[in-house]
């Protein structure tokens, strides 16, 4: 080591040591600042104001336009309801969702819907949600029958982790979408095209019929104008296909390989539960690291009885659940095959929820007594939560009588 190098080394060690001991002055410095601070109360707090703007507890919205997208999907354009106090919309990251709070037959329920518009649209004063009518949908039928221009809607702030993160994800994004799972990719595509996201998007979009495809024309136009940024491949599982340039069948390994640079892409999957299982198997063959596959939470499990280790002998049974929520205690019935969250909503207890997928933690509750079944695919609880019997009612099913404590969020 030369004299010059030694000198450099000493300076580095000295400065690191200084950093190491800097914390010893933290407390005395803080005390000094408190002693010298003004006695006048702080009236404005810009940090908290910004946090509230970005993460409002709720947003009051009004439907300003309804656009038919396909035989079973509509886009609802929502603007802030100034009268009820929402002056501007919270900004978000393309791919996030809003959890809507809706009253159906006097019962308050929540549903998460991905935002289909881009974050810059929120700054212009609107969100778009594209909602597909489900055949036996409890909520979507009600939306179809009742939502008109002028209808007031309450939502959460933007939520979720299904977004492109340049520090983690590769710039080639492959979106694998099924049905209404196309909506977050519209938001991502618009953001890329607006030049706000440095990435390229290829979407493999599975639909069962031609007239189920959402945003067909819009994506075709965007593709034509920005071939270097966006490509959408429609894959139809029906037998007769008249659209040109589509693939038929399902989103298989062969189709993925045909359109994507598999080793240099991050995969984002959003669609119905059944598609996740199929696509997960297809992707397994590429042996990709886990961080290259991002999944949007798919909401409630539809067929819990078929999950591994679900105790089939209780499938037909109903149990009693003693719920302590806020200052209320109520005993409610709950079927083994419905989530505890649904049982509480049915009993009109207005329990807290957002993602309904075990992801956001908003419904986290305490199990005082009894046994529950939690699907292994959605059990993302921390070890401490498991140890101290915390659980998420949105993904938990009663398999005995229960007593639980549920938080009351405003």
Residues in touch with ligand FES (CB under 6 A):
353-356, 358-363, 392, 394
256 — phi, psi (to 5°)? -60, -45
φ, ψ at 374 (rounded to 5°): -120, 125
Nearer to ligand FES, 184 or 358 (CB): 358
Q: Which residue has the tokens 């939306």?
A: 143
Side-by-side strand order, sheet with 172-178: 247-248, 230-236, 200-207, 172-178, 265-270, 293-295
Measure the CA–CA gap between 235 and 204, rounded to whole angstroms.
7
Nearer to ligand FES, 187 or 378 (CB): 378
Taking the least distance from each CB to ligand FES, the nearer of 213 and 355 is 355
Return the number of the residue (231 or 392) whose C-beta is nearest ligand FES. Answer: 392
Nearer to ligand FES, 128 or 359 (CB): 359
Nearest distance, CB of residue 54 and ligand FES, angstroms? 19
Distances (CA, A) of 132 to 140, 143, 178, 238: 7, 10, 12, 19
Closer residue to ligand FES, CB minimum distance, 326 or 407: 407
C-beta of 396: minimal distance to ligand FES in Å? Answer: 9
Smallest gap from residue 352 Cβ to ligand FES (A): 7
Give the closest residue to 304 by CA, choosing from 391, 401, 377: 377
Listed residue (174, 156, 59, 164) closest to 363, CA to CA: 156
**Based on CB atoms, which residue is closest to ligand FES, 122 or 344?**
344
Least CB distance from residue 90 to ligand FES, whole Å? 18
Which DSSP string corresponds to 263-313?
Answer: GGEEEEEES-HHHHHHHHHHHHTTT--GGGEEE----S-S-GGGSTT--GG
Min separation Cβ 375 and ligand FES, Å: 13
Instruction: Give the shortest CB-241-to-ligand FES separation in angstroms.
Output: 38
For ligand FES, the closer CB: 259 or 380:
380
Query: Least distance to ligand FES from the beta carbon of 160, Å?
Result: 10
Compare residues 173 and 342 and give the one whose CB is closer to ligand FES: 342
Minimum Å gap between C-beta 20 and ligand FES is 40
Closest distance to ligand FES from the beta carbon of 296 (Å):
13
User: Assign residue 195 a region: left if phi > 0, alpha if psi is -120 to 50, beta otherwise?
Assistant: left
Which tokens sit at 334?
């709950």
**∠ at Cα 372 (371, 373), nearest 5°?**
135
User: CA 158 to CA 59: how far, in whole Å?
Assistant: 10
Q: Would you tell me how many other CB atoms lie within 10 Å of the CB of residue 206?
A: 27
Contact 204, 178 (CB under 8 A): no
Q: Smallest distance from the beta carbon of 214 to ligand FES, in angstroms?
A: 25
Contacts of 260 (CB under 8 A, 6+ apart): 172, 174, 202, 204
**Could you tell me which of 317, 300, 301 has the C-alpha nearest to residue 399?**
317
- Closer CB to ligand FES, 137 or 361, in the complex: 361
């Amino acid at each position: 080591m030369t004299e010059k190098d030694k000198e450099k080394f000493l300076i580095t060690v000295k400065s690191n040591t200084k950093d190491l001991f800097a914390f010893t002055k933290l407390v005395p410095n803080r005390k000094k600042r408190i002693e010298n601070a003004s006695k006048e109360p702080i009236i404005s707090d810009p940090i908290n104001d910004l946090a509230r703007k970005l993460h409002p507890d709720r947003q009051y919205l009004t439907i300003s336009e309804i656009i038919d997208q396909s035989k079973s999907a509509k886009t609802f354009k929502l603007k802030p309801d100034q009268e009820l106090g929402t002056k501007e919309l919270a900004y978000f990251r393309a791919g996030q969702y809003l959890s809507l709070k809706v009253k159906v037959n006097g019962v308050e329920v929540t549903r998460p819907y991905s935002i289909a518009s881009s974050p810059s649209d929120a700054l212009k004063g609107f969100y778009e949600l594209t909602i597909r009518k489900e055949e036996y949908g409890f909520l979507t039928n009600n939306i179809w029958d009742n939502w008109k221009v002028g209808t007031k809607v309450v939502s959460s702030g933007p939520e979720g982790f299904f977004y492109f993160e340049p520090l983690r994800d590769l710039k080639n994004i492959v979106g694998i979408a099924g049905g209404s799972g196309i909506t977050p990719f519209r938001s991502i595509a618009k953001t890329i095209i607006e030049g706000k996201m440095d990435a390229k998007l290829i979407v493999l979009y599975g639909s069962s019929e031609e007239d189920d495809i959402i945003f067909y024309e819009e994506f075709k136009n965007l593709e034509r104008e920005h071939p270097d940024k966006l490509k959408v491949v429609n894959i139809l599982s029906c037998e007769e296909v008249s659209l040109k340039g589509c693939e038929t069948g399902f989103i298989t390994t062969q189709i993925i390989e045909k359109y994507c640079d598999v080793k240099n892409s991050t995969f984002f999957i959003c669609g119905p539960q059944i598609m996740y299982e199929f696509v997960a198997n297809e992707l397994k063959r590429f042996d990709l690291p886990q961080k290259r596959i991002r999944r949007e939470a798919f909401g409630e499990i539809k067929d819990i009885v078929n999950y591994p280790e679900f105790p089939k002998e209780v499938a037909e049974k109903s149990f009693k659940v003693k719920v302590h929520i806020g200052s209320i205690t109520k005993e409610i019935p709950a079927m083994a095959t419905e989530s505890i969250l649904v049982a509480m909503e049915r009993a009109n207890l207005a329990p807290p929820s957002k993602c309904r997928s075990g992801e956001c933690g908003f419904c986290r509750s305490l199990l005082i007594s009894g046994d529950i079944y939690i699907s292994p695919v959605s059990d993302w609880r921390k070890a401490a939560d498991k140890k101290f019997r915390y659980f998420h009612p949105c993904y938990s099913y009663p398999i005995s009588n229960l007593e639980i404590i549920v938080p009351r969020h405003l």
